[in-house]
Amino acid sequence: MTDLIYKRSENASQKDSILDFLINNFHDNTLQIMLPLSENEMRNFWGSGLAACKESQLVYQNVELVAVENGDFLTYKEIKEEFDEKESVKNAQRTSELICALGETDLTRFGVNDRSKIYSNGVVCVSSLTQGRGIGTRLIKNSINFAKNSGADFYTAHCVNNISKKVFEKEGFEIAKNLSYPKFFKNEPEEHAKIVQAHQNAFFMIKKLY
């Protein structure tokens, strides 16, 4: 089996490659199932969000990009305002509102304060052809070490299904908030009907690094 090559990218220098990769590999993402976006809508929404994170890990098999992890260093105030921008597309707006609601919790109980440096994970995505090889777990471990070495006090992540939640829990993360999809979409029958039965909740996770 061809060896995998892990590379680090800074200042969103690989934004276009990451955006193309996410569009091609995010179709079975829990949020994309409930709040689907067209390719153009994904480009507009993620181009200034997930794909634009400044710190990235990229994994290649031969010359093909097969996995991505990225994130940003933020303050506590920036964490709370991360998804405050208004979106013109309904499903993009509801996605922002869901992620914002997920992050609306008091992190001071974990020791976070206004001076805390926080690594906020944007995404961990592995192509279907290379899943099951521990790539996602290695990317998370690498990012934890990178955050520590960069002087971060905490690491946060938005987990939109039980699979990612369990992976982060194995790395010592705690649940800062649990958001119920049935409750969030209780007045939206179309979206409520699309809830994946195996993934009824989203989780805001946090890990103290020191």
Paired sense of beta strands 4-10 and 201-208, if any = unpaired
Query: What pLDDT digit, counting tens, does each position of 63-119 carry?
Result: 999 999 999 999 988 877 766 667 889 999 999 999 989 989 999 999 999 899 999
Please tell me the distance from the alpha carbon of residue 162 to that of residue 171, in angstroms, as a whole number: 15
Residue 191 is predicted with a pLDDT of 96
Please tell me the distance from the alpha carbon of residue 154 to that of residue 147, in angstroms, as a whole number: 8
Characterize 178-199 residue by residue with b for buried, 16 or more Cβ atoms within 10 angstroms of its Cβ, and e for exposed.
Answer: ebebeebbeeeeebeeebeeeb
CATH of range 4-208; options 3.30.497.10, 3.40.50.2000, 3.40.50.720, 3.40.630.30 = 3.40.630.30
Query: What pLDDT digit, counting tens, does each position of 15-65 carry?
Result: 889 999 999 998 889 999 999 999 999 998 888 777 778 899 999 999 999
Task: Tell me the residue length of the chain.
Answer: 210
**Is 130:66 a contact under the CB 8 Å cutoff?**
yes
Query: What pLDDT digit, counting tens, does each position of 157-183 carry?
Result: 999 999 999 999 999 999 999 999 999
Question: If pLDDT is split at 50, 70 and 90, which confidence band does 193 have?
Answer: very high
Q: What are phi and psi of 206, to 5 degrees?
A: -145, 145
Domain boundary assignment for the chain? 4-208
Residue 10 is predicted with a pLDDT of 87
**Is 35:96 a contact under the CB 8 Å cutoff?**
no
Q: Which are the contacts of 29, defined by CB distance < 8 A and separation ≥ 6?
A: 160
Q: Which long-range contacts (CB under 8 A, 24 or more apart) does 80-85 make?
A: 80/104, 82/120
